[in-house]
Amino acid sequence: MSDQDTFKKIISHAKEYGFVFPSSEIYDGLGAVYDYGPNGAELKRNIKDFWWKSMVQLNENIVGLDAAIFMHPKTWKASGHVDAFNDPLIDNKDSKKRYRADVLIEDHVEKMRQKVNKEVEKGRAKFGESFDETQFRATNPNVLRSQEKIDQVEGRAAASLASGDLADIKALIEEQGIACPESGSKNWTDVRQFNLMFDTKLGSVAGDAATIYLRPETAQGIFVNFLNVLNTSRQRIPFGIAQIGKAFRNEIVARQFIFRMREFEQMEMQFFVRPGTQKQWYDEWKKRRMAWHRVLGTAEANLRWHDHQNLAHYADAAVDIEFNFPFGFKELEGIHSRTDFDLSRHQELSGKKLQYFDPELEQNYIPFVVETSIGCDRTFLAVLCQAYCEEDLGDDKSRVVLKLPPALAPTKVAVFPLVRKDGLPEAALAIFNDLRFEFDCAYEEKDSIGKRYRRMDAIGTPYCITVDHDTLIDQMVTIRERDSMAQERIPVSRVREIVRERVDMNSLLKQL
Ligand code: ATP
């Protein structure tokens, strides 16, 4: 099965089991806007909870914020979004498909990289045990030639994007022979800039209306509240402000399910530091954020760093953590050293001093900022893709199971009476009613026990408890584990404690 097939299956599984629906589907949906169903809402809430606890609860020097989506329009002038939050778009004249020119080039470079990797794998197969990958990459003429080409294309694209030389971006696409992925045509329009912000009107009287924007990132809500938080939270630098909230971008191309949406949620933390220490904090947050992904169970091979060549106007260093989605490695999280750009600009446009008095240095300054910014929806997709598993159980039987980290699973435990009679439902309901105060749980008595297990596997429920006739005599139940399908008998009196031990988010947090 190709990765694309797997991706299609994941999308239909997400819909069939109430994780993600296309928005307003009865009207045929709305491009790149999605709704989360009952199970999706729970999974998303757990992801946000894990992020919030790891940031705010576990760090005394990070506090939370919940700023409004609407902000004074000057905010976006100050941040540079009005003038520079553009993506370079290009249309294919034959297929009439629209693309981001930078993404077309990135995908082209990724293909070149795959070729190099194939060359390396050939080398590995040829030389066997004695193969030294670093040396091979540094000396093999084919690899060196390809790597030089990659560096040239990347370097030129970065320089032209930075200087706004859109004609050169088009020239590069043509020189590299990049074709429309849908039609294979190389008949391109010129590259144009497209501002990604949605605007709307504030005020009920049309004449009085002011244009305001739906925020394209949550970060600015943090910057404009810097002084409020500083003055009310007794924090001293270095300290951070964390926020989870909706952001909106009128994305040019939105074809990868919830990877690229027009309305999405970000989990962002801005860490304010003494000028000159930003590099040290940037390295520290890179380390901490990668550890967070690893604790969630993401395999090392599915994560990689991608250093930005084309730095945003506000950054002096930037890196992405990329995840190996079924459509390739793509950005999941960004870690950016944002300098003092944002606070300086807000100070300039608002006329309010956004400074910090450092008692150790006995000096006022505008703090520097290191940001960690992760998409909640992209994390959801990464978790889902990693968890999705089709298993052959022999005897022509198979199952689809979501091997979600138990702490993130929408339902932690399901309770079943083996049959719907003989007092078993009453005994099972008593257990369910005890558990529901502590965990998201389900009670089911319809269908065979096998079918009920399969349904729970498909939504990633880590434990099922079955009450049978023996339970009424010996007060023991069967607990069945999702991944191994192993079953054991445990006393009813210990069910809550045993489930807690195995699904508790604290055990993940303690590993951070
Ligand atoms: P991309 O290059 O993929 O457009 P970006 O570099 O513009 O992303 P940032 O501005 O760094 O993204 O945003 C921080 C995070 O917000 C991203 O790492 C991603 O997880 C998430 N994000 C950004 N745009 C979207 C989107 N359209 N849909 C879903 N999540 C998004």
Is 406-509 CATH 3.40.50.800? yes
Nearest CA to ligand 1 atom 3: 331
Contact 491, 476 (CB under 8 A): yes
Residues forming beta bridges with residue 210, ordered by sequence position: 202
Residue 309 confidence (pLDDT) above 90? no
CB 40 near ligand 1, within 6 Å: no
pLDDT at site 310: 73
CB 438 near ligand 1, within 6 Å: no
pLDDT (tens digit per residue) in 356-382? 999 999 999 999 999 999 999 999 999
Closest CA to 383 of 154, 31, 144, 45: 45
Fold of 1-71+215-392: BirA Bifunctional Protein; domain 2 (3.30.930)
pLDDT at site 209: 67
CA of 110 to the centre of ligand 1 (A): 19
CA of 264 to the centre of ligand 1 (A): 9
Residue 139 confidence (pLDDT) above 80? yes
Before 73, cis peptide (omega within 30)? Answer: no
Q: What is the mean pLDDT of residues 468-491?
A: 98
> Which token pair is 317?
């260093």
pLDDT at site 153: 96
pLDDT (tens digit per residue) in 331-358? 999 999 999 999 999 999 999 999 999 9
Q: What is the mean pLDDT of residues 156-168?
A: 92
- What DSSP designation does 213 have? E
CB 319 near ligand 1, within 6 Å: no
CB 81 near ligand 1, within 6 Å: no
pLDDT (tens digit per residue) in 206-249? 666 688 999 999 999 999 999 999 999 989 999 999 999 999 99
DSSP string over 66-92: ---SB--THHHHHTTHHHH-EEEEEEB
d(C-alpha 456, C-alpha 414), whole Å: 8
Three-state SS annotation for 305-369: EEECCCCCCCCCEEEEEEEEECCEEEEEEEEEEEECHHHHHHHHHHCCCCCEEECCCCEEECCEE
Cβ neighbours for 377, distance < 8 A, ≥ 6 positions apart: 34, 44, 258, 259, 261, 264, 265
CA of 321 to the centre of ligand 1 (A): 11
Cβ neighbours for 219, distance < 8 A, ≥ 6 positions apart: 268, 270, 342, 371, 373
Architecture of domain 86-195: 2-Layer Sandwich (3.30)
pLDDT at site 3: 81
- pTM over cut 0.85: yes
Average model confidence (pLDDT) for the chain? 95
Closest CA to 451 of 498, 502, 399, 500: 399
CA of 100 to the centre of ligand 1 (A): 14
CA of 375 to the centre of ligand 1 (A): 6
On the CB side of 213, CA atoms within 13 Å amount to 24
Pocket test for ligand 1, best of 44, 373, 374, 376 (most atoms within 8 A of CB): 373
CB 243 near ligand 1, within 6 Å: no
pLDDT (tens digit per residue) in 423-468? 999 999 999 999 999 999 999 999 999 999 999 999 999 999 999 9
User: Which atom of ligand 1 lies closest to the CA of 261?
Assistant: 28
CB 283 near ligand 1, within 6 Å: no
The share of the chain scoring above pLDDT 70, in percent, equals 99
Phi and psi (nearest 5°) for 65?
-150, 150
CA of 204 to the centre of ligand 1 (A): 33
CB 56 near ligand 1, within 6 Å: no
pLDDT at site 362: 96
CA of 124 to the centre of ligand 1 (A): 36
Strand-strand pairing, 192-195 and 199-202: unpaired
Give the model's confidence band at 152: pLDDT under 50 very low, under 70 low, under 90 confident, else very high.
very high
Contact 22, 386 (CB under 8 A): no
CB 249 near ligand 1, within 6 Å: yes
Nearest CA to ligand 1 atom 9: 334
pLDDT at site 1: 60
CA of 397 to the centre of ligand 1 (A): 40
Instruction: For the chain, give every domain's residue range.
Output: 1-71+215-392, 86-195, 406-509
CB 375 near ligand 1, within 6 Å: yes
d(C-alpha 29, C-alpha 12), whole Å: 15
pLDDT at site 449: 96
Residue 313 confidence (pLDDT) above 90? no
d(C-alpha 33, C-alpha 21), whole Å: 9
Residue 54 confidence (pLDDT) above 90? yes
Contact 219, 33 (CB under 8 A): no
Pocket test for ligand 1, best of 266, 303, 338, 342 (most atoms within 8 A of CB): 266
